[in-house]
Amino acid sequence: MRTPIIAGNWKLNMNPEQTAEFVASIKNELPESSKVESVICAPAVDLDALKKAAEGSELHVGAENAYFETEGAFTGETSPKVLNEMGIDYCIIGHSERREYFHETDEDINKKAKVLFANNVTPIVCCGESLETREANKQEEWVVGQIKADLDGLTAEQVSNLVIAYEPIWAIGTGKTASSEQAEEMCKTIRETVKDLYDDETAENVRIQYGGSVNPANVKELMGKPNIDGGLVGGASLKPDSYLALVNYQD
Ligand code: PGA
């Protein structure tokens, strides 16, 4: 059985003080990790505060990005090795904002996934189509292409532990959620792609999140779909009450 995983993606919001306050206000009301895994992915400058504040609680912590080298002359980058040393569990890679504004390619994302695994940090690999691609009815082809390129060369064991986030770009931060049917359809396609690339067991194990305007009002319906194992949540993860409503969606 796949454990549901709800991850906040704070993006470029919050400072260390706000991070500590936020975590202090939610840490005693999180579901048990065996029921629902609660994750917050924060900017690199907040990770130390996030990790310290989460100590002894059910909260898992994640970064929003990392580089595909672990050390050297790469000004401004974040090392996967140091994320591991800090006890960071997850790292988002390939978010559409990074692909668009920072020109990240599938090749970069694939290299990042490999280096993160080598350093015991679990990647949350994002994929998803633009509105233009969906309007041209090319979304499946697009997302399958991203998955094949991003996972290239990963082992079945790695992919079994991976998290994939399907985030249609037209639904991110727009208040326009994909319908639960549209989200399920693509998450199913992604699972079938993993099955084609690997095997049944790997496809059964990989956790697939939906992301794009997930909120406390729609989370339950989305999570009720057989191929949706979690949510990657931006805006609605920024307030403690809303975050708690998301992770406690089963109550
Ligand atoms: P949103 O962002 O929930 O604000 O739409 C989701 C994301 O970008 O991960």
Looking at beta carbons, which pairs linking 52-55 to residues 24 or more positions away fall under 8 Å? Answer: 52/20, 53/19, 53/20, 53/22, 53/23, 53/24, 53/27, 54/23, 54/27
State residue 166's pLDDT score.
Answer: 98
**Residue whose CA is closest, atom 6 of ligand 1?**
234
pLDDT at 177 over 90: no
3-class DSSP assignment, residue 67: coil
The average pLDDT across 237-251 equals: 98
Q: How far apart are CA 12 and CA 127, in angstroms?
A: 20
Q: How far apart are CA 232 and CA 235, in angstroms?
A: 10
State residue 142's pLDDT score.
Answer: 98
What average pLDDT is seen over the chain? 97
Percent pLDDT > 90 in the chain is: 97
The average pLDDT across 202-227 equals: 97
DSSP state of 12: S
The average pLDDT across 126-138 equals: 96
Q: How far apart are CA 119 and CA 240, in angstroms?
A: 31
A 10 A CB-CB count for 193 gives 20
DSSP 3-state percent helix, strand, coil across the chain (nearest 5): 45, 15, 40
Residue 95: active-site member: yes
φ and ψ of 149, to 5 deg: -70, -40
**Residue whose CA is closest, atom 2 of ligand 1?**
234
Q: How far apart are CA 164 and CA 53, in angstroms?
A: 26
CA of 171 to the centre of ligand 1 (A): 8
CA of 128 to the centre of ligand 1 (A): 12
Residue type, 132: E
A 10 A CB-CB count for 225 gives 16
CA of 67 to the centre of ligand 1 (A): 22
C-beta of 147 in contact with ligand 1 (< 6 A)? no
**Residue whose CA is closest, atom 7 of ligand 1?**
234
β-partners of residue 208 are 164
Q: Is residue 150 a contact partner of residue 113, using CB atoms and an 8 Å limit?
A: yes
Residue type, 152: D
Confidence at 173, pLDDT banded by 50, 70, 90: confident
State residue 213's pLDDT score.
Answer: 94
Q: Is residue 245 a contact partner of residue 218, using CB atoms and an 8 Å limit?
A: no
pTM over 0.95: yes
pLDDT in tens, 2-24: 999 999 999 999 999 999 999 99
